[in-house]
Structure 1
Amino acid sequence: MSKRRGHLLFEGSDWDFDLIQHVYDAVEHIALKEMGLDVYPNQIEVISVEQMLDAYSSVGMPLFYKHWSFGKQFVANDLLYRKGLRGLAYELVINSDPCISYIMQENSATMQTLVIAHAAFGHNHFFKNNYAFRQWTDATGILDYMEFAKRYIADCEERYGLSAVERLLDTAHALMHQGVHRHPRIRARDLKAEAAREAERQAYRDRIYDDLWRTLPTSPTQTAAKGDDHRRALNLPQENILYFLEKYGPKLEPWQREILRIVRLIAQYFYPQRQTKVMNEGAASYCHYRIMSTLHQRGQITDGSFLEFLQSHTNVLHQPMFDSGQFGGFNPYALGFGIMEDVTRICEHPTEEDRHWFGGIAGGGDAMAVLRDAWANYRDESFILQFLSPHMIRKWRLFKILDGEGTATVSVDAIHDERGYHRVRQALAREYDAGLQEPDLQIVDVDLKGDRRLRVEHLVSNNILLDERDGAMVMQNLANLWGYEVHLCEVDAISGRQIKLHEFRPQPGS
């Protein structure tokens, strides 16, 4: 150690802002020059425990509108933290340009180095390059749009009353997961332009407003097209329920439509994160492990610091096995990191089995090129389906359980052997298919010129119906927003057979 001491970035746990800059420069050199990462400009901010808890409550955004549920989450997280029942993340990172990374002031110098590598370069690279984020998010405009959303909703609270705005947000939040476009039609929305368009819409409404118009009798609704033409005119069927309500909700005021637009655009912003949890955390963990290992090999951090890092690293990547009594599902950090480490092994030290399964990359040597391509062009489902190897299936002792409907027992349907590799890999990949994890709800018809009844279909896969209680609550919120009767028909996705029909009417005062 004495020969290497002059090259150390730091000794001990204390740090200051000059040291953070020194550490950042060292990490940046490895990430950009040696690993070939491509990142947004970084903005690193130091925050306290209270600020981290506050960020937790508002889904990690530095700017967010007010809502009672955020305060509830803050109190719950704060109580658990004070009682020692949970810890806090060492960092929090925002998908924006510049990329904002929050680091805790309570972190040691080693932990600050780790989280800069993890967030400011691992997550940052993934945000900038993955196709789902490029397709659906506007990193340049999100912070400006969040500022607009916060200001707009605060203005609505002053003008229309806190309870009216809060009630609308409660309803919109209940439908938030049904407020995204899952199939791209256009490029990612320019959120700065969206905020400017709303200002123009409001200015136009103010300019043309005349109180005399309300004294005129309402003109009859223009005759709608019939059959297919009618549904085509309304873009039906429509999977984005919030979008349909925003456009055609018969009882919504302009300010209510704008709040629905705000909620659905924020839901769309977070949609790629739900599709890439394993890859995103795996990529960030892979990057921080390689960077910290390189710093230690070059004598830039001490053995003690490296051991501190390894303790944190192994805690984050801990994966209980199925027979441990602690298994509660797959740790996305562990699964993503494990597959990416295995890809490195396949590229650099392949076996004959690897050459058979991964002939295109086995023995190629350039693991970082393969991983950068995967980080850019896959999401969790396709990544697992493409790169989960027989070696990993055996190492993790993966097998497939068959729990058939109406049977009192379960059976092992596939194990980690030659016949079971494909089936295990396909079964695990399906667990991360966003299209299978949430119900397929679509608005299929509405009679805008008649009784305005809204017809919604749930396409049922594998005979899995909506939960009675949760489904009823969500659909009641939909009926309250629509203002008229809503029919929910659960239909078999293959045969088209109607399984169950539910009716919901708007509640008084909703």
Structure 2
Amino acid sequence: MTETATASAPLFNGPDWTFELLGTVHDAIEEIALNELGLDVYPNQIEIISSEQMLDAYSCVGLPLMYQHWSFGKHFVRDETYYRKGLTGLAYEIVINSNPCISYNMEENSMAMQTLVMAHAAFGHNHFFKNNYLFRDWTDASGIHDYLAFAKNFVARCEERYGVDEVEAILDAAHALRDQGVFRYGRPPRPTSQELQAMQQRRDEHASQQSVLDLWTDSTMGVAEDTEDTHLQARQIRQEDLNLPQENLLYFLEKNSPTLQPWQREIVRIVRFLAQYLYPQKQTKVMNEGCATFVHYYIVNRLYEKGLITQGALMEILHSHTSVVMQPDFNDPRFSGLNPYALGFAMMQDIRRICEEPTDEDREWFPEIAGHSDWKAVLREAWSNYRDESFILQFLSPHLIRKFKLFVLTDDTKHPELVVSQIHNASGYRRIRQVLAQSYDIAQVEPDIQVVDVDLKGDRELKLCHNIQDGIQLDQTGCAEVLKHVKQLWGYEVSLKGRDHSSDTVAYELSTKPS
């Protein structure tokens, strides 16, 4: 039985918490979240864990189950050392995109902080995971637990059968390519249930290796003479058979490597699947944290207004809240760019302001939402249909640009000085918003590396191309090391060209071939 409380009786006094009290507060938060904010959430599963367990969750990218790998242990030791020395703190919670939605709360939290993190994670993040289009289209919250259990058990069985070193080598190579192991704009069609059964049967019979070899033996059939025309014909066949160019390196290697064994392909597929599952979070940091922060701020203030938490609890919560949304100045030692919590929360507060108290400027810039009668519906629509880049491009207002004192610096290598190119005027606001939005576009931040060709008839060299943007080249030392991992998964030599399309020139070339 959970306790009930009247509007004049706070749900708790003091810092101590019990599981029964957590249930009572959860129900009070849920009433506000669902009935007032209109949130739509997965069922909640809230687990209380120790600081060591929180560190363990950190090291495994916040997932409840994970296969073993030395890099997770390295991260655990690093984070634990910093934490024990007081050089860094721990998150109050971790929340997982799953159904039910799992939230890990720290046992060291006071009851006030437990209230905050339940509102933040169990309802704010939960709603965003369930409703944002990227998570709806690209993730399966109901199936992730079963897949993680399969992955953990599969890797463990491979270690027993083939040895830890063999498995670790494949995981090392796949981990090195995780950022290039996702589909950014499209993906192959999902197989039917019959196709899935056939695929599983082929894996069980170890026939996938033969299917890959068929590609190598049949792809150039009918191309007899070694002429320029036949070379072009062979290249066209390669393009069609291998679906080139291909942006997802792990997918290409998993499907087409002539040397990987079936169990190795499955491990590459596991790493690729988890990278894709977490990819929407990279695209929605501002929105996800902004949504959760806005939700917890609204809920805790409503709890106080209803008399369900004390003034002392509210002050403790707001002290943590203000620390989270603080934006350090550029000359502050803590400055590392725009704080996603600060920007996301401020934008969502600003959307509410535009709906409730619009200015003439707001009506000019946001005619569709200025004076809107239901700001909650406007926010829910934004949470569902935007990612960071498009959200900023659509909703960042001149009012907020002035508040954050944003402007654009042009850094041109041809000029010895920086230039303030965009200021606070009509055209400047639009350009500032556009430039800031581009900085959250993953396609602009992460290098565009694609598989463009492979020599099927000759030495089977795999050819990659880095499409250089804004003159930014890859670090060639680190790139050479990553190419070694590509070679390990491919089985033959690998080369990479950095092509600057603005000047149509090749800026650099790297290869795993001995010099």
Pick the aligned partner of 2:178 from 160, 176, 179. Answer: 176
Q: Could you tell me which residue of structure 2 aligns to residue 490 of structure 1?
A: 498
Distance in structure 1 (CA, Å) of the matches to 2:247 and 2:48: 41
Amino acid at match of 2:177: L
Q: Could you tell me which residue of structure 1 aligns to residue 49 of structure 2?
A: 47
SS at match of 1:445: strand
1:7-46 CA-partner distances (Å, limit 9, x unpaired): 2111111111110110010000000111010111111111
Deviation at 1:406, TM superposition (A): 3.8
Indicate conservation of the 8 Å contact 1:251/1:482, yes or no: yes
Pick the aligned partner of 2:234 from 226, 232, 237. Answer: 226
* Cα separation, partners in 2 of 1:220 and 1:96, compared to 1, 3 Å: closer
Indicate conservation of the 8 Å contact 2:219/2:241, yes or no: no
User: RMSD of the TM alignment (CA)?
Assistant: 2.4
Q: Could you tell me which residue of structure 1 aligns to residue 489 of structure 2?
A: 481
1:264-293 CA-partner distances (Å, limit 9, x unpaired): 000000000000000000000000000001
Pick the aligned partner of 1:389 from 388, 394, 397. Answer: 397
1:419-452 CA-partner distances (Å, limit 9, x unpaired): 3101111111111001011100000111223210
Deviation at 1:321, TM superposition (A): 2.2
Q: Could you tell me which residue of structure 2 aligns to residue 408 of structure 1?
A: 416
Distance in structure 1 (CA, Å) of the matches to 2:46 and 2:39: 18
SS at match of 1:23: helix
What are the residue-to-residue correspondences of 1:321-332 with 2, within 5 Å?
321-324=329-332, 326-332=334-340
Q: Does 1:239 align with 2:250?
A: no
* Cα separation, partners in 2 of 1:291 and 1:360, compared to 1, 3 Å: same
SS at match of 1:44: strand
Amino acid at match of 2:392: I
SS at match of 1:11: coil
Deviation at 1:306, TM superposition (A): 0.3
Q: Does 1:155 align with 2:163?
A: no
Which piece of structure 1 moves more, 283-292 or 483-492?
483-492
Q: Could you tell me which residue of structure 1 aligns to residue 132 of structure 2?
A: 130
What are the residue-to-residue correspondences of 1:76-87 with 2, within 5 Å?
76-87=78-89
* Cα separation, partners in 2 of 1:115 and 1:220, compared to 1, 3 Å: closer
Any stretches of 5+ residues in structure 2 without a counterpart?
221-232
Distance in structure 1 (CA, Å) of the matches to 2:98 and 2:344: 23
Distance in structure 2 (CA, Å) of the matches to 1:52 and 1:433: 30
Distance in structure 1 (CA, Å) of the matches to 2:219 and 2:24: 69
* Cα separation, partners in 2 of 1:27 and 1:220, compared to 1, 3 Å: closer
Amino acid at match of 2:135: F
1:369-416 CA-partner distances (Å, limit 9, x unpaired): 111111110000000011000000001101111111243321211122
Indicate conservation of the 8 Å contact 1:484/1:506, yes or no: no
Q: Could you tell me which residue of structure 2 aligns to residue 67 of structure 1?
A: 69
Q: Could you tell me which residue of structure 2 aligns to residue 25 of structure 1?
A: 27
* Cα separation, partners in 2 of 1:259 and 1:88, compared to 1, 3 Å: same
Indicate conservation of the 8 Å contact 2:219/2:237, yes or no: no
Indicate conservation of the 8 Å contact 2:50/2:107, yes or no: yes
SS at match of 2:465: strand
Distance in structure 2 (CA, Å) of the matches to 1:193 and 1:400: 54
Distance in structure 2 (CA, Å) of the matches to 1:62 and 1:22: 25
Deviation at 1:184, TM superposition (A): 2.4
Distance in structure 2 (CA, Å) of the matches to 1:266 and 1:444: 25
Indicate conservation of the 8 Å contact 1:441/1:459, yes or no: yes
Distance in structure 1 (CA, Å) of the matches to 2:195 and 2:155: 15
Distance in structure 2 (CA, Å) of the matches to 1:419 and 1:185: 37
SS at match of 1:39: coil
Q: Alignment identity in percent?
A: 56
Q: Could you tell me which residue of structure 1 aligns to residue 273 of structure 2?
A: 265
* Cα separation, partners in 2 of 1:95 and 1:253, compared to 1, 3 Å: same
Which piece of structure 1 moves more, 344-353 or 483-492?
483-492
SS at match of 1:499: strand
Indicate conservation of the 8 Å contact 1:221/1:449, yes or no: no
What are the residue-to-residue correspondences of 1:209-224 with 2, within 5 Å?
221-224=217-220
Report the TM-score when normalising by structure 2: 0.92
Deviation at 1:188, TM superposition (A): 7.2
Indicate conservation of the 8 Å contact 1:137/1:189, yes or no: no
* Cα separation, partners in 2 of 1:193 and 1:35, compared to 1, 3 Å: farther
Amino acid at match of 1:222: D
Q: Does 1:166 align with 2:131?
A: no
* Cα separation, partners in 2 of 1:130 and 1:188, compared to 1, 3 Å: farther
Distance in structure 1 (CA, Å) of the matches to 2:514 and 2:241: 26
Q: Could you tell me which residue of structure 2 aligns to residue 378 of structure 1?
A: 386
Which piece of structure 1 moves more, 460-469 or 334-343?
460-469
Distance in structure 2 (CA, Å) of the matches to 1:28 and 1:276: 24
Distance in structure 2 (CA, Å) of the matches to 1:158 and 1:325: 48
Tell me the matched-pair count: 496
Distance in structure 2 (CA, Å) of the matches to 1:287 and 1:194: 43
SS at match of 1:78: helix
Q: Does 1:353 align with 2:361?
A: yes
Deviation at 1:186, TM superposition (A): 5.2
Any stretches of 5+ residues in structure 1 without a counterpart?
none
SS at match of 1:420: helix
Indicate conservation of the 8 Å contact 1:249/1:481, yes or no: yes
1:101-142 CA-partner distances (Å, limit 9, x unpaired): 111111111111111110011000000111111111111111
Distance in structure 2 (CA, Å) of the matches to 1:36 and 1:475: 49
Indicate conservation of the 8 Å contact 2:216/2:456, yes or no: no
